[in-house]
Amino acid sequence: MVTTALRAVLNTPFSHFGNILEFMKNLPAIAEKIHQALEVRTLARDRALANARQVTRHAAQAIRAIHREEHDNAYEQLEQSRALVRTMQSELNEFSELYYAGYTQDAIKEFVEASITCALIENQPLPSPDELIVENATYLNGLAEAAGELRRRCLDILRQGYSKEAERLLGCMDDIYATLVTMDYPDAVTNGLRRQTDLIRGIVERTRGDLTISLREQHLVEAMQTLMVSLDEAKKTHEDHSGV
């Protein structure tokens, strides 16, 4: 049995179908415009991915160099990372969804971490988000990760014995944690900062413990050296008296 709907289609004049095809004649033009837009977006994405990898690589090399006290190399790598960040920001100006994508902001976070690490190890002023031209959430996450690099620097120093420089860096770590713990906002706003803050607390406390042990060891060594000097003097005095 022919349904009502099918009967209606069968009874539709052919001229009506021609009108429908006429309405669809602009579909190829629409599709071509979409193709072009997606091609441009895809090229921008591919270039952003390549730049993001380079930003991360130069930032990592800057941190490595500053730990080795290769200051010129560290700042050269940092400047290359900075230039690539500016390139990404310029090229993604019309593609905000690509700029705020995870891989882009993660790379910029690495640049922020390297910038802060180099500044604090060199005892220079802390760069601000405005100076680095980065988003606040990205800056805070880079600041959080810099605390781990400061711990690494402290341990390198402590291998040579207790130092006031290690105390200074621990003070920087304390300040970072004290600031980040006040940033009590949703993870969707801070890009998961809360987890990073929790990790920093452990890093700071472990570093404080390492410095305390190093300081006590130094005091013990100094006390033993003082005792040895006293014993040597007592021995010499005894020998002098015996000779008399």
Phi/psi for 222 (5° steps) reads -65, -40
* Residue-range domain boundaries for the chain: 33-130, 135-231
User: Are both 33-130 and 135-231 of the same fold?
Assistant: yes
Element (H, E) at 64: helix 27-67
Write out the two tokens for 25.
Answer: 């004649």
Write out the two tokens for 166.
Answer: 């290690």
Q: Looking at this protein, which amino acid is placed at residue 15?
A: S
135-231 classified as CATH 3.40.50.1860: no
What's this model's pTM, rounded to 2 decimal places?
Answer: 0.79
pLDDT tens by residue, the chain, 244 residues: 556 655 554 555 555 555 656 778 888 888 989 999 899 899 999 999 999 999 999 999 999 999 999 999 999 999 999 999 999 999 998 888 989 988 899 999 999 999 999 999 999 999 999 999 999 999 999 999 999 999 999 999 888 877 789 899 999 999 999 999 999 999 889 998 999 999 999 999 999 878 776 665 565 565 666 656 666 666 666 566 665 5
Q: For residues 165 and 189, is the Cβ–Cβ distance under 8 A?
A: no
CA-wise closest residue to 40 among 93, 117, 119, 104: 93
Nearest-5° angle of CA 46, CA 47, CA 51?
Answer: 120
Residue 126 DSSP symbol: P
Phi/psi for 18 (5° steps) reads -65, -35
Phi/psi for 101 (5° steps) reads -70, 160
Task: Tell me which architecture the domain covering 33-130 has in CATH.
Answer: Up-down Bundle (1.20)
